[in-house]
């Protein structure tokens, strides 16, 4: 029995390592390709390691294009992602608090409408949104990428509502006795108790906005306002020679913020998702 369990234990870890390597191989290939000359990347695509390291791809990529350094694109992405994340998390928390604690006419209907927004792909609403933002004169600015986030997100509202449902209403009553208003209860009682849900929502909101390409392509028409995801596409030129080495180098740098966020906030992410699944 001991030998059988030991063999199963070894096989489990071997299979896990092999599957993990298969999943992470595309990422490793991109990172190692960032150290290859552009003419070697696809000519030697089957080899993970470069024949000789070519680190100048990073300096070339950092110079950007059109006289705009890549640091400008990182600044734009950080500005849009941070503003959008802050607005999305705060507005979603307010809406979730109202839907879970207030009893008003039509609450269930609004809750259903909120869930329906989670089922609509961006491709369905992008034309009406573009018409609205174009009439407002926002095309070419970051406003179409930031302002909608301040009206909540269906996924985040639902996530935070599950946390609030798990908070005893006796705490609300006790706060009322102490003189807290409806807004005071939200700020002093609810908010400190839903921190895991807020952090989880912030992580997802930042990641989704950082990786967003289609919305940036629609609304940004000035290269000085381009985000990282949009700027990476500029390294690929179908009509001329593409600088794949510089593109892979900047793509490697672009995933660093997401990796750092995941590494340092993994505890809150796991706690938020697991707790959301236990409450309701």
CATH number of the domain that residue 268 is part of: 1.10.3720.10
Tell me: pLDDT of 241 over 80.
Answer: no
CA distance 16 to 20: 6
Q: Are 84 and 149 in contact (CB under 8 A)?
A: yes
Q: Which 3 state secondary structure label does DSSP give 67?
A: coil
Residue 213 lies in a domain: yes
Residue 8 lies in a domain: no
Q: Are 160 and 194 in contact (CB under 8 A)?
A: yes
- For 97, the domain range is 67-278
In b/e form, how buried is each residue of 221-256, taking b as 16+ CB within 10 angstroms? eebebbbbbbbbebbeeeeeeebbbbbbbbbbbbee
Residue 260 lies in a domain: yes
Q: Taking Cα atoms as reference points, which of 88, 114, 101, 279 lies closest to residue 186?
A: 101
Run of H or E residues at 46? none
User: What's the alpha-carbon Rg for the chain, to the nearest Å?
Assistant: 24
**Residue 94's pLDDT band (cuts 50, 70, 90):** very high
Query: How confident is the model over 150-172, as pLDDT tens digits?
Result: 998 889 999 899 888 888 888 88
**Residue 179's pLDDT band (cuts 50, 70, 90):** confident
Q: Count CB-CB contacts under 10 A for residue 113.
A: 11
The answer to which of 3-7, 137-141, 204-208, 249-253 has the lowest mean pLDDT is 3-7
Tokens, residue 223: 């290269």
Residue 167 lies in a domain: yes
CA distance 56 to 35: 8
Query: How confident is the model over 110-128, as pLDDT tens digits?
Result: 888 888 888 888 888 889 9
Number of domains in the chain: 1
The model carries a pTM of 0.84
**Residue 277's pLDDT band (cuts 50, 70, 90):** very low
Q: Count CB-CB contacts under 10 A for residue 173.
A: 11
Residue 22 lies in a domain: no
Residue 3 lies in a domain: no
Residue 53 lies in a domain: no
Rounded to a whole number of angstroms, the distance between the first and last alpha carbons of the chain is 42
Residue 264 lies in a domain: yes
Tokens, residue 215: 């919305």
């Amino acid at each position: 029995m001991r030998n059988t369990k030991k063999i199963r234990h070894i096989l489990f870890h071997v299979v896990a390592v092999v599957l993990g390597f298969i999943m992470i191989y595309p990422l490793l290939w991109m990172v190692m390709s960032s150290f290859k000359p552009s003419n070697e990347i696809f000519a030697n695509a089957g080899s993970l390691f470069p024949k000789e390291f070519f680190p100048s791809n990073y300096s070339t990529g950092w110079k950007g294009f059109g006289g705009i350094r890549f640091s400008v694109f990182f600044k734009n992405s950080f500005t849009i992602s941070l503003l959008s994340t802050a607005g999305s998390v705060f507005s979603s928390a307010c809406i979730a608090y109202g839907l879970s604690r207030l009893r008003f006419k039509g609450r269930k209907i609004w809750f259903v409408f909120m869930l329906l927004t989670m089922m609509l792909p961006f491709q369905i609403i992008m034309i009406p949104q573009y018409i609205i933002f174009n009439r407002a004169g926002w095309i070419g600015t970051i406003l179409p990428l930031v302002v909608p986030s301040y009206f909540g997100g269906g996924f985040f509202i639902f996530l935070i509502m599950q946390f609030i449902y798990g908070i005893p209403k006796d705490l609300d009553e006790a706060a009322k006795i102490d003189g807290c208003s409806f807004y005071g209860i939200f700020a002093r009682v609810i908010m400190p108790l839903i921190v895991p849900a807020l952090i989880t929502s912030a992580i997802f909101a930042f990641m989704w906005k950082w990786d967003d390409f289609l919305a940036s392509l629609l609304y940004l028409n000035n290269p000085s306002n381009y985000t990282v995801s949009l700027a990476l596409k500029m390294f690929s030129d179908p009509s001329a020679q593409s600088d794949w080495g510089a593109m892979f180098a900047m793509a490697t740098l672009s995933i660093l913020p997401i990796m750092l966020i995941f590494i340092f906030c993994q505890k809150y992410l796991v706690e938020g998702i697991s707790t959301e699944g236990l409450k309701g």
